[in-house]
């Protein structure tokens, strides 16, 4: 089984991102191709980048960076769950990405975005470009939730419709396929 890390990007009080992340986490577990782990940036609480050396050197001085490096390094693939703030993805996700360089290389990445009318697609498009610069493979297949607040039921659970579930399965199929293909590249680094 591949190690898939689901990264929830929001950190502010009252955030709804963990609900969306819990939903895709369960869909990924049911897929059967992955050992899945949730990485909630709101709980990890990475400080703004505070390493004195460039991340490409991998000379980390802080324990939080060493732990983040090990967590990302062991992953085979990712799903980024992102809100859209001011037409972009949240700053804590950008910070978490920039802590590292080589640990991200040659890994597939799916994106689940959510927001208002745009469904977080502007954030997802911006994120795709940044992931590509880290030598990741951001998939075309994605899951986008417009007016996502309508997907939260009275019990506070995130509920997706059949179309979104199918989109998630298609994305997970793609992640599994790309991960298999990228294994050889990572082994030859």
Instruction: Judge whether residue 189 has pLDDT over 80.
Output: no
CA distances (Å), origin 171, targets 69, 84, 114, 144: 25, 20, 16, 11
Maximum Cα–Cα distance for the chain, whole Å? 50
Outline where 79-161 has alpha helix (H).
91-98, 121-133
Q: What is the mean pLDDT of residues 1-9?
A: 97
Q: Contact, 50 vs 40, CB < 8 A?
A: no
CB atoms within 10 A of CB 181: 12
Number of domains in the chain: 1
C-alpha to C-alpha distance for 170 and 132, rounded to whole angstroms? 21
For β-strands 2-8 and 34-40, DSSP reports them as parallel
- Where is 80: in which H helix or E strand? strand 77-83
CATH of the domain at 61: 3.40.50.360
CA nearest to 106, candidates 51, 23, 29, 178: 178
Segments forming the whole domain that contains residue 9: 2-187
Residues 6+ apart with CB under 8 A from 131: 80, 97, 104, 109, 137, 138
pTM of the model as a whole: 0.97
| Confidence at residue 188, expressed as pLDDT on a 0 to 100 scale | 82
Instruction: Tell me the sheet residues that pair with 79.
Output: 6, 110
The per-residue pLDDT for range 74-86, each reduced to its tens digit, is: 999 999 999 999 9
More confident residue, 189 or 150: 150
C-alpha to C-alpha distance for 125 and 113, rounded to whole angstroms? 10
Average pLDDT of the chain, as a whole number: 97
Q: Contact, 120 vs 84, CB < 8 A?
A: yes
- In eight-state DSSP terms, residue 46 is P
CB atoms within 10 A of CB 71: 17
C-alpha to C-alpha distance for 42 and 46, rounded to whole angstroms? 9
């Amino acid at each position: 089984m591949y190690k898939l890390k689901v990264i929830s990007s929001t950190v502010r009080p009252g955030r709804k991102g963990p609900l969306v992340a819990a939903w895709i986490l369960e869909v990924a577990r049911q897929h059967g191709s992955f050992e899945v782990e949730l990485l909630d940036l709101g709980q990890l609480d990475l400080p703004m980048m505070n390493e004195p050396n460039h991340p490409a050197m991998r000379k980390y001085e802080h324990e939080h960076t060493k732990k983040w490096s090990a967590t990302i390094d062991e992953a085979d693939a990712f799903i980024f769950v992102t809100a859209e703030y001011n037409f972009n993805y949240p700053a804590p996700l950008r910070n978490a990405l920039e802590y590292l360089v080589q640990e991200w290389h040659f890994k597939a990445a799916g994106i689940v975005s959510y927001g208002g009318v745009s469904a977080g697609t502007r954030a997802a498009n911006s994120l795709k470009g940044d992931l590509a610069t880290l030598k990741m493979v951001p998939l075309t297949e994605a899951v986008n939730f417009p007016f996502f607040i309508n997907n939260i039921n009275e019990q506070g659970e995130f509920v997706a419709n059949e179309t979104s579930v199918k989109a998630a399965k298609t994305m997970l199929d793609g992640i599994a396929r790309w991960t298999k293909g990228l294994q050889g590249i990572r082994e030859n680094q």
